[in-house]
A and B are shown apart, each in its own frame.
Chain A
Amino acid sequence: MFKLYIMLFTEFSKIGLFAIGGGYAVLPFLYYLQSEYNWFSTDELTNMIAVSNITPGPIGINAATYTGYTTAGIAGALIATLSIVLIPFILTVLITKLFDKFENNKTMCAIFTGLRPAACALLSSIAIKLFYRAIFTDFKSLTEFQIDISSLILFIILILPFSFIKKNPLITILAGAIGGIIIKSF
């Protein structure tokens, strides 16, 4: 049992250290774990990804908790979950500390002028990718694709009111869930 704990710790620390970019960056590591150890099957991994989308939390955390729990119970779940955030935690604190120290420094200000549009561009690219995946189905080429009308309708219903009233993200999420159930039942 102890050996299993150590293995969970090292494997998930490694994922924490190498998964730069977050989110789906952990997927290749999980497939690697699947092939290396018999902790879960490919089917279970696919379900795990699906469940990550329906439970709160980033997929990396969800996968760590799930793998830890199924291989070594609650203690395993705790070890795996804490391991995946440990190294990022140390690095993040160090870097934030460094940033704080030079906050009003001229060089730092110049860097931020570049970081902010980059952050905007990153968010934009995520939005564009999510939008494409939802709206354009069977995408074969620039002229050969299908538009998923129900996705487009829900998108318009959600973005119109929420772009000008005071918005609570949770309400948008709930509205999407209810809208999804209603539209799909027709």
Chain B
Amino acid sequence: MNKSLFEIYKIFLIIGAQLLGGGYVIVPLLKKYLVEERKWISENELIDYFAMSQCIPGIIAGNIAICTGYKIRGITGAIAAISGIITSPFICIILLANILNEITEIEIIKNAFWGIRISVTVLIIITIKDIWKSSVNSVFTYILYLIILTALIFLPISPAIIIISAALIALIYGKVRSKNV
């Protein structure tokens, strides 16, 4: 597991440049670049980091990059990863800052981003399909999934509270089950 810092920075720079339509696209991007192409982390690790990132303050895409970078090469890996993620957004905003108000009025850009919003929805649905087997694979996890999804849709609860409650429920369930066996 000896990846050069520059390599880590480069991958996260590429991912950062593709973070269009909000930070959630980072999950399919990490899946492609780190899980499938490079096998630096496993799919389960990615799901765990995504869950963890929700409970830690800060920007999710940033947090998940820090977790992954740390996993790959410790603290320096985490620094390389977060630097890579923020480089492209940083440069873009600096370049666009002065013409910000004009850009948002251009029709063709508006239309393109209207389409990208739908792409993001599609990407997230595909990601759910991919991680489904390793996440929701027993009666217990199925019920937990349905309860959490219902709660998220109908109640204004913070994702952090959801994740922490899910961890606690699973912990209690695990304890009860191991006692019965």
Report Cα–Cα, A44/B100, bound state, in Å.
8
**B141 CB-CB contact with A under 8 Å:** yes
Q: Which of A21, A50, A180 contacts B111 (CB 8 A)?
A: A180
Contact status A93-B78, CB under 8 Å: yes
Q: Which of A51, A88, A117 contacts B166 (CB 8 A)?
A: A117
Known contacts: A93-B78, A118-B51. The answer to whether A130 contacts B117 by CB under 8 A is yes
Q: Which of A47, A116, A178 contacts B141 (CB 8 A)?
A: A116
The interface on chain B, measured as residues whose beta carbon lies within 8 A of the other chain's beta carbons, has a size of 103
Known contacts: A44-B100, A127-B124, A180-B111. The answer to whether A65 contacts B58 by CB under 8 A is no
Using CB atoms and an 8 Å cutoff, list the residues of chain B in contact with chain A.
Answer: 16-25, 27-29, 32, 44, 47-63, 66-67, 70-71, 75, 78, 82, 85-86, 88-90, 92-94, 96-97, 100-101, 103-104, 108-109, 111-129, 131-132, 134-136, 140-142, 144-145, 148-149, 152-153, 158-160, 162-163, 166-171, 173-175, 178
Using CB atoms and an 8 Å cutoff, list the residues of chain A in contact with chain B.
Answer: 16-23, 26, 43-44, 47-48, 50-51, 53-62, 65-66, 69-70, 74, 77-78, 81, 84-85, 87-89, 91-93, 95-97, 99-100, 106-107, 109-131, 134, 151, 154-155, 158-159, 162-163, 167-170, 172-173, 175-181, 183-185
